[in-house]
Amino acid sequence: MNRLRVKLPGLDLKNPIMPASGCFGFGGDYGKLYDLNLLGAIMVKATTLEERYGNETPRVAETPSGMLNAIGLQNPGLEDVLNEKLPKLMKYDLPVIANVAGSTEEEYIEVVRRISQAPNVHAIELNISCPNVKHGGIAFGTDPIVVERLTRACKDVSRVPLYVKLSPNVTDIVEIAKAVQRGGADGITMINTLLGMRIDVKTRKPILANLTGGLSGPAIKPVAVRMVYAVSHAVDLPIIAMGGIKTVDDVLEFFMAGASAVAIGTMNFHDPMILPKLIDQLPRRMDELGISSIEALIQSVKEARAHE
Amino acid sequence: MNRLRVKLPGLDLKNPIMPASGCFGFGGDYGKLYDLNLLGAIMVKATTLEERYGNETPRVAETPSGMLNAIGLQNPGLEDVLNEKLPKLMKYDLPVIANVAGSTEEEYIEVVRRISQAPNVHAIELNISCPNVKHGGIAFGTDPIVVERLTRACKDVSRVPLYVKLSPNVTDIVEIAKAVQRGGADGITMINTLLGMRIDVKTRKPILANLTGGLSGPAIKPVAVRMVYAVSHAVDLPIIAMGGIKTVDDVLEFFMAGASAVAIGTMNFHDPMILPKLIDQLPRRMDELGISSIEALIQSVKEARAHE
Amino acid sequence: MIQEKQTILWNKEVAPDIFELTLQGEMVDAMVPGQFVHIQVPREDLLLRRPISIATIDAETGSYRVLIRVDGEGTQSICAQHAGMTLDVLGPLGNGFDISFLNPKDKVLIVGGGIGVPPLLGLANLLHEKDIDMDIVLGFQTRGAIVYEEEFKRLGHVTITTDNGSYGIHGYVSTVIDTLTQPYHAIYACGPKGLNRYINLKFEDHPHAYISLEERMGCGIGACAACVCQKRKEPRENIKICQHGPVFKTGEVIV
Amino acid sequence: MIQEKQTILWNKEVAPDIFELTLQGEMVDAMVPGQFVHIQVPREDLLLRRPISIATIDAETGSYRVLIRVDGEGTQSICAQHAGMTLDVLGPLGNGFDISFLNPKDKVLIVGGGIGVPPLLGLANLLHEKDIDMDIVLGFQTRGAIVYEEEFKRLGHVTITTDNGSYGIHGYVSTVIDTLTQPYHAIYACGPKGLNRYINLKFEDHPHAYISLEERMGCGIGACAACVCQKRKEPRENIKICQHGPVFKTGEVIV
Ligand SMILES: Cc1cc2nc3c(=O)[nH]c(=O)nc-3n(C[C@H](O)[C@H](O)[C@H](O)COP(=O)(O)OP(=O)(O)OC[C@H]3O[C@@H](n4cnc5c(N)ncnc54)[C@H](O)[C@@H]3O)c2cc1C
Ligand SMILES: Cc1cc2nc3c(=O)[nH]c(=O)nc-3n(C[C@H](O)[C@H](O)[C@H](O)COP(=O)(O)OP(=O)(O)OC[C@H]3O[C@@H](n4cnc5c(N)ncnc54)[C@H](O)[C@@H]3O)c2cc1C
Ligand SMILES: Cc1cc2nc3c(=O)[nH]c(=O)nc-3n(C[C@H](O)[C@H](O)[C@H](O)COP(=O)(O)O)c2cc1C
Ligand SMILES: Cc1cc2nc3c(=O)[nH]c(=O)nc-3n(C[C@H](O)[C@H](O)[C@H](O)COP(=O)(O)O)c2cc1C
Ligand code: FES
Ligand code: FES
């Protein structure tokens, strides 16, 4: 028996650890550092209908235990992703979770419809929460009515299970999660980045060309844990959790908060070997903490809640 | 001329640096470490009408470049603050900013009315945003209509200028800031803590007895800077800014974001001498960056915006 | 109370994951046993200081010893510092043990558990100078975790218990203490919550029984209200352990 | 491309706030001049690695030199590490300078500015081995900031400029380059944005003119799209500096 195995809608994961969208491209050169088959899955960079050039540079800035990014959804567009990027990942035994973004409901629907037909795409991650896109991105993620409708529309056209990615930049994330559930999603991924800014005291101007950017990394972990905890109490959907994971204890902390799998973003930049390291360390730490399997842990968290 | 002097409603500050509410008690034993007269002002711990015992312990937890707290507004109540705590601060030449909290509008009004009459209270900081209080605290800070009404009601009874402290746990902080302005406040203080959680992987339970707590410290600085930047663009009130300040460059970053004074919370715990150190370092760093005075910096940031 | 950089004169792992550090600084002059220091973690991402009890005080060299158990990232980072390096220390903090009422030849019971043992050694040193008679009961999890046995043996009559029976008496300190009949002029205890709670109840009415408490701390100096415990008697009141403790009379607070 | 702990063999401040480090590691075998390494900051709260150009490569000892200017907290922390300590390094990254087309006695112009000078020394070493003739123009802010003058003098004809005229020719490198008439088989430049932009335009149509660019980076290996620059010609395209650069042909991208 594989103690690390987790089954989620559309995803039969050999382990519950994967790279987060946008932090791993479509594999980038990480495949030169280690065998990508080690990963539980791969969440690839957001795809839009047409090519996007993204924001001006600088696109990243450093913050205490975190970073800001304002990449701005740069991507080669749906056609290129379907014809070039996704086929390159076919050589791996690696379920792809396709991150989909758009400026209009129609764009979302079209991208979901077509990308969900790609042979190695096992699930969709609907990015309704990217804080760096001017055209509506933020509005999509913060209004429960819009979220529900968009979720349903995308679910209707998707050939594979649909996960919706939640933004933390809202007063009440539970309300959004409930809208996602009503819309018929198969799962939730959370959290995306917190809106932030850094100003260079020498130039007196924001460091990012886009002025603001998304805060990620360990700095936001407590916010992510709190939101995963709240959402997993309120809706009945599996959660793939992310937000500042750095250590194997962070991984387990998210499971205890209610997650069913985790993704790692920013820390790949700090330590490009972090994913294989965590996957390697996980069973040992589970032994120390008396956790027989990840599925058992997920189950026991659920049961503990039933008695709360 | 004092290069560090800043004049704000009710506050003629010898320098723009002060301790943030709840991180300095009513001076605590900091007065044993250095002369509190060095400070620009002091933001004291939240006062409620009756004594509050606060939450169970543990009340604090550590997070990457930050901490969580769930003190729960423990305070000896208005009478004791008026008769015992505030008089003890009389021996200093130190404007007191009294942080006021409550469970009901009536409680807020009563505390503001009476505490604003204390001789050394130069301003009120309305804490409508404490995330650790069950009774309504969070609702007060997130609904613009409630915020506007509460602000006006408190302003009406206050003998001294009224500052309202904003919560970052909202979808649109600018909307709240505008409500504060409409309510007639004299200034804004921001930000309070972000809602967060930590789970102990050994016990599988949240570390804080209160489950969730408020995240503070350098981790949240980019969120605070972004919000100060946004609010200072949208309303015409002076801002006393806080959120993760650790270095003299952080202090200046907040001025460049649009602040008119700053407060330091969490970092007092890390380095109890941080306030006098920053006050000491500020003029030197201003020299390096060609800043003649803090008032001039505030002015130049305003002017640069006029040309944006 | 001051904040200063202190030089590490000595750092040695004296038991698995337990390090003894000798620190040198000005504040040593003001220290009394039972007080603690608040040590900054030498890691930029960990902001909260770690409260650590003063074990023994050496006025002559202006140094003191602490015993630190590596429990998490902060204590690990502190214990990884080598002799010659410095630590940023705030202290001395808290009230310390009251011994003013004791006279030579008085009988005292000292009860320690695990990492609560170190501050009792400084206390025992002082009591020994005052020519006090000591019964010392120390509980540890296992044989490997035992510290300062020899030092204590020079100062009084020592009984060791281990939870797993690998050394001394099998069981908790209560196994021993429940058999003691001798009246003591004073009782001083420091250990895990269970031990403190036991002493707090057992010697509730003893006029000079003391326990030393632990709680997660922020400021360490009475400003943030992180570290409170509740008074036992009405009117209800919260007491700050960092400022009015960590040593309390039994029966004074709820453990 | 690998990630490894490298030992610091040498660390010295060679000019105010400019440190020369010699690092030893396996990846040295794979290095070519113009590539860079991505160095982890030895501070837990700073997550992003710092891209630093490989200056010179010593295959024999399996080591290479870098020159780092302390600009902020990260470079400060890196440069504060002593010889004997290790750094976590990812590399070698990027493409490096193309010299494959050059023949002995070819004439080459090398243009460096400030902290852009170091990678050109490694290049010049290689060109020297190939018996290439070099005109080397190096610009610095002031006399104090000059680095590697002696080393370059052994390899070619060196002209130094300083912005403030405190040494060599008063002015930017353009002051000198605008007076050069000799045709060069290749031109290699690395420096601040202004210098790169100047070379990019001045030698826009030169078939073998190269500039090395800088941009803020995340991953350093083509995954995050932080470090892009835009292709000069249509169709519009963004190129990742970390992966397809940092060396570009003039006229290829917009600086
Ligand atoms: C007055 C006092 C005296 C103490 N004396 C000693 C001593 O002499 N030797 C010794 O080894 N330990 C002592 N402790 C316990 C010691 O402070 C904790 O073990 C230590 O803070 C844990 O830090 P960490 O980095 O290992 O764990 P982490 O889990 O990384 O700590 C995270 C946060 O929780 C706090 N924390 C975790 N456990 C405790 C605890 N048991 N008590 C208080 N705070 C905690 C930490 O201070 C930190 O703020 C004392 C505690 C107090 C309150
Ligand atoms: C390909 C390449 C090669 C380089 N080679 C060298 C070299 O050989 N020697 C040298 O001294 N410097 C070199 N630099 C510049 C060096 O990377 C920056 O000076 C350094 O990253 C700044 O870090 P800091 O900690 O001093 O500043 P901080 O302000 O603390 O840096 C904060 C963040 O901004 C980034 N950043 C700040 N300035 C720059 C910059 N100019 N370029 C890229 N990122 C920046 C940092 O990497 C970090 O992510 C090179 C840059 C690139 C892109
Ligand atoms: C450089 C960068 C690019 C990102 N791009 C995307 C994206 O395209 N789509 C998306 O849904 N999230 C994107 N994210 C958010 C991450 O997937 C993740 O939700 C977030 O960074 C929190 O995880 P972390 O703290 O582990 O990085 C990006 C994050 C970073 C740092
Ligand atoms: C232990 C603690 C207690 C606090 N208590 C209060 C309070 O009573 N009232 C209030 O308005 N803010 C309170 N705050 C919030 C701070 O005043 C400040 O807004 C926040 O911590 C961000 O600043 P910092 O990052 O510098 O700590 C508290 C913060 C901490 C850490
Ligand atoms: S730790 Fe702040 S009051 Fe005790
Ligand atoms: S730094 Fe990530 S793509 Fe270049």
Residue A216's nearest CA partner among A264, A250, A261 is: A264
Q: Is the peptide bond before B9 cis (omega within 30 degrees of 0)?
A: no
- Element holding D174 (H helix, E strand): helix D173-177
User: Which ligand minimizes its atom distance to the CA of D242?
Assistant: 6
Q: Residue range D146-171: average pLDDT?
A: 95
> Which residue in A61, A130, A245, A259 is the catalytic one?
A130
> Cα–Cα distance between C228 and C241 in angstroms, integer?
6
Dig out the tokens for D249 from the structure: 């042909």
Decide: C220 in ligand 1 pocket, CB within 6 A.
no
CB within 8 Å: B269 and C218: yes
Residue owning the nearest CA to atom 4 of ligand 4: B22
- Three-class SS state of B199: strand
pLDDT of residue B308: 79
Q: How far is the CA of A146 from the centre of ligand 2 (A)?
A: 42
Helix B105-115 and helix B144-157, axial crossing angle in degrees, nearest 10: 30
CB within 8 Å: B61 and C216: yes
For residue A57, the distance in angstroms to the closest alpha carbon of chain C comes to 28
pLDDT of residue B131: 57
pLDDT of residue C159: 96
Question: In this structure, which amino acid lies at residue B264?
Answer: I
Decide: C20 in ligand 1 pocket, CB within 6 A.
no
Residue A228's nearest CA partner among A258, A251, A249, A256 is: A258
Instruction: Tell me, yes or no, if A23 is annotated catalytic.
Output: no
> Cα–Cα distance between A110 and A79 in angstroms, integer?
12
For residue A60, which atom of ligand 3 is closest to its CA?
1
Contact with chain B for residue A290, Cβ under 8 A? no
- Calculate the alpha carbon distances from B250 to B228, B235, B264 in Å: 13, 22, 10
Dig out the tokens for A1 from the structure: 């028996």
Contact with chain C for residue B298, Cβ under 8 A? no
For residue A127, which atom of ligand 3 is closest to its CA?
11
pLDDT of residue A139: 63
Residue list, ligand 3 pocket, CB within 6 Å: A 20-23, 45-46, 69, 71, 73, 99, 127, 130, 165, 192-193, 216-217, 220, 242-245, 264-266; D 218, 224
Contact with chain A for residue B273, Cβ under 8 A? no
Decide: B189 in ligand 4 pocket, CB within 6 A.
no
Contacts for D100 with CB less than 8 Å, ≥ 6 apart: none
> Cα–Cα distance between A59 and A214 in angstroms, integer?
10
For residue D248, the distance in angstroms to the closest alpha carbon of chain C comes to 38
Q: Which chain C residue lies closest to A219 (C-alpha atoms)?
A: C45
**Tens-binned pLDDT, residue by residue, of chain A (308 aa):** 799 999 999 999 999 999 999 999 998 799 999 999 999 999 999 999 999 999 999 999 999 999 999 999 999 999 999 999 999 999 999 999 999 999 889 999 999 999 999 999 999 999 987 655 544 445 678 889 999 999 999 999 999 999 999 999 999 999 999 999 999 999 999 999 999 999 999 999 999 999 999 999 999 999 999 999 999 999 999 999 999 999 999 999 999 999 999 999 999 999 999 999 999 999 999 999 999 999 999 999 999 988 87
- Three-class SS state of A229: helix
Q: Residue range C63-70: average pLDDT?
A: 97
Which residues, in sequence order, are bridge partners of residue B200? B205
Dig out the tokens for D244 from the structure: 């397809």
User: Please, are residues B53 and C238 in contact by the beta-carbon 8 Å criterion?
Assistant: yes
Contact with chain D for residue C129, Cβ under 8 A? no
Contact with chain D for residue A22, Cβ under 8 A? yes
Q: How far is the CA of A102 from the centre of ligand 2 (A)?
A: 33
Residue A270's nearest CA partner among D41, B200, B284, D185 is: D41
Q: What is the DSSP string of A27-79?
A: STTHHHHS-GGGSS-EEPPPB-SS-B--PPSP-EEEETTEEEE-----B--HH
User: Which ligand minimizes its atom distance to the CA of A74?
Assistant: 3
- When pLDDT is cut at 50, 70 and 90, the band that residue B130 belongs to is low
CB within 8 Å: C46 and D44: yes
Which residues, in sequence order, are bridge partners of residue A19? A264
Half-sphere exposure of D237 (CA within 13 A, CB side): 10
- Name all chains with 3 or more CB-CB pairs below 8 Å to chain B: A, C, D
The pLDDT tens digits of the residues spanning D82-98 come to 999 999 999 999 999 99
Q: Residue range B11-33: average pLDDT?
A: 95
**Residue C8, Ramachandran bin (φ over 0: left; ψ between -120 and 50: alpha; else beta):** beta
CB within 8 Å: B60 and C230: no
pLDDT of residue C234: 87
CA triple D40-D41-D47, angle to 5 deg: 80
pLDDT of residue B142: 87
Of B169, B206, B222, the CB nearest to A215: B222
CA torsion A192→A194→A195→A199, rounded to 10°?
Answer: -120
Dig out the tokens for A11 from the structure: 């995803």
pLDDT of residue A138: 54
Q: Is the pLDDT of residue B145 over 50?
A: yes
pLDDT of residue B307: 83
The pLDDT tens digits of the residues spanning A122-176 come to 999 999 876 555 444 456 788 899 999 999 999 999 999 999 999 999 999 999 9
What percentage of chain B exceeds 70 in pLDDT? 97
Q: How far is the CA of D51 from the centre of ligand 2 (A)?
A: 6
pLDDT of residue B135: 44
For residue B91, the distance in angstroms to the closest alpha carbon of chain D comes to 40
Residues of D in contact with C43 (CB under 8 A): 44
For residue A258, the distance in angstroms to the closest alpha carbon of chain D comes to 27
Residues of B in contact with C46 (CB under 8 A): 62
Residues of A in contact with C45 (CB under 8 A): 64-65, 218
The pLDDT tens digits of the residues spanning B248-295 come to 999 999 999 999 999 999 999 999 999 999 999 999 999 999 999 999
pLDDT of residue B137: 44
For residue D212, which atom of ligand 2 is closest to its CA?
1
User: Which ligand minimizes its atom distance to the CA of B75?
Assistant: 4
Residues of D in contact with C46 (CB under 8 A): 44
Longest dimension (CA), chain A: 58
pLDDT of residue B138: 54
CB within 8 Å: A25 and D224: yes
CA torsion A287→A288→A292→A298, rounded to 10°?
Answer: -130
Dig out the tokens for B166 from the structure: 């904003």
pLDDT of residue B134: 47
Contact with chain D for residue B218, Cβ under 8 A? yes
For residue A260, the distance in angstroms to the closest alpha carbon of chain D comes to 26
> Cα–Cα distance between A51 and A44 in angstroms, integer?
15
The pLDDT tens digits of the residues spanning C187-209 come to 999 999 999 999 999 999 999 99
pTM: 0.97
Contact with chain D for residue B64, Cβ under 8 A? yes
> Cα–Cα distance between D138 and D151 in angstroms, integer?
12
pLDDT of residue A226: 98
The pLDDT tens digits of the residues spanning A185-212 come to 999 999 999 999 999 999 999 999 999 9
